[in-house]
Amino acid sequence: MFGLFRKPRPVPTWTGKRTNEIASCARWQECNVPDELRGLPDAFRRTIRYPFLGSYFGHERMTFCYVLPQGVARGYVYRVSGGDDILNQQMLEYILYEVMEYAEAAYAGIVKPMQEKVRAIEKAKQDAARAVEVFAARFKQAVEADAKGVVAALQAGKQAQLRDWLNEMKPPEALYDQLRRVVLATARDVENQREAEERKRQEAVREAERRIAEEREAARKRLLSGPIPFAGVVAGNVVFGTEVETGDTFMVDVRKLQHTICVGVSGSGKSVLLHLLVHQMMALPEFEQVILVDLKDGVEFNTYRDNSKAQVVWEFDDLVRVVDRLNEVARERAAVMRENRWQLWPHGRIALVIDEFAELQTEIDTADDKEKKARARRLSASLLSLARRARAFGIILTCALQKATDDQMPSALRNNLGCRLVLRCGSSVTARSMLEIDDEYDALPVRPTRLRDGRLYYYDARRGDVRYLQAHVVPGVELG
């Protein structure tokens, strides 16, 4: 309490407005003014002497101060001097409300426009903030929906990628322009808001990317935990397998296929890989004919014999005739291309697939009479001719064997097979020669001599591109 109490004039109950536009925050002492208002620069300040004309109490001499801070829509009143002995709380309240009402009437012409401007700014900020919040919610919803779709696709074993949301969906610039037009003093706030919103957007994208990365890794591990069934033909492409490090399907455009050599010891998955390639060649409309050669026993490609595209060859003499005919086709197509000024053959392709090429080479090397030797030399020369020039004419050669040594396949032929599929090898020498690497050999994820069944390195000799893959298993192929 503030010392001795002297009986004041009876105090009525305040019946006027308890809140008003000008002085809605009032305190008896300056120290009672809210912290968020104290210390702000003044937009308007006036001293008010009490009592004034029309005040209820006349014997108390007090001084008040009315302040409207910059950028604030409400002012405040506090007592500067006098009235120290007033202890009646109802009287204190009555006097304060009188002072506030007086300030409202006396300074309305000056203060009201200031307050209206502040309120307009605040409303613009609030409207823009709400609009940005709506945008942020829409952005987050879109990213989460996209992430959910990508995760579902990955769980289904499909390929999917999160869209570039940071560039596709941006906050409307009009929101920030609106704030700039209202008041230049809020430029820093506008920029801060922009930066905060950008951080929120980036965080939403990072969270979606994190979820997708986790699911992609989980899907990759599930996928690679056992044999991978072939999911189906991809239009215009040949699938070679799944990339072990990413879980992505690796495929090559049919138009970019090269002559191919497939090397791997028995049981490494060479036949499974050949069937993967042949299965797609049979299904893709870009291939008009697929010639399958197996001189070992003639049964490897039996499953394709009823396909109208397929021609299965298991006799050496038949192979000689087939290769001769392919060279004729190459010459015919070359003539058509010259006439039409084509650089590459634009129509149907022919695939020549030779399994166990070493058997063919043995037939060539062991020819024991003049006629057989001539036929063998012709076949060897024809195969080399196909390897050197037939790709431009839409004829693709694929050869499989256990080791790529000169006694298994002539180096002149081998060097023209630009796509190398290297499964488990019996020696590092074979692997190094096929992958054309030396210093980088030790940096491979797994050494070719230790590859699991069905795992391989895809090597593009033209581009120097190496991919670590696991082959897919097509329906009907039995795993050894």
d(CA 324, CA 326): 5
Of 197, 224, 251, the residue at which a domain comes to its end is 224
Residues 247 and 328 grouped into a single domain: yes
Q: Nearest to residue 404, comparing CAs of 423, 388, 390, 389?
A: 423
**Domain termination site, one of 73, 103, 119:** 119
Instruction: Quote the domain boundaries for residue 418.
Output: 228-473
Say if 12 falls within a structural domain: no
Count of structural domains within the chain: 3
Radius of gyration of the CA atoms of the chain, in A? 43
Same domain, 147 and 278: no
Asked, for residue 5, whether it belongs to a domain, the answer is no
Classify residue 132: in a domain, yes or no: yes
219 and 232 in a common domain: no
For residues 192 and 293, state if they share a domain. no
Do 416 and 259 touch, CB atoms closer than 8 A?
yes
Spatial contact of 197 and 136, defined as CB atoms under 8 Å apart = yes
Euclidean distance between CA atoms 425 and 222, whole angstroms: 26
Ramachandran category for residue 313: left, alpha or beta (phi over 0 → left; psi -120 to 50 → alpha): beta
CA distance 105 to 103: 5
CATH code, 274:
3.40.50.300
Q: Are residues 359 and 437 in the same domain?
A: yes
Q: Could you list the pLDDT tens digit for every one of the 480 residues in the chain?
A: 233 334 446 777 766 665 443 333 445 665 566 677 777 888 888 999 999 988 888 777 889 888 888 888 888 888 888 888 887 888 888 888 888 889 888 888 888 888 888 888 788 777 777 877 888 888 888 888 888 888 888 777 677 788 887 788 777 777 667 656 654 445 566 566 667 767 887 888 888 888 888 888 888 888 888 899 999 999 999 999 999 998 889 999 999 999 999 999 999 999 999 999 999 999 999 999 999 999 887 788 989 999 999 999 999 999 999 999 999 999 999 999 999 999 999 999 999 999 999 998 998 888 888 888 898 899 999 999 999 999 999 999 999 999 888 889 999 999 999 999 999 999 888 888 898 877 778 889 999 999 999 999 999 988 888 999 999 999 988 876
Does residue 128 sit in helix, strand or coil? helix
Asked if residue 11 is part of any domain, the answer here is no
Residues 188 and 245 in one domain: no
Lookup: tokens for 63: 């001084």
Residue 191 has a pLDDT of 64
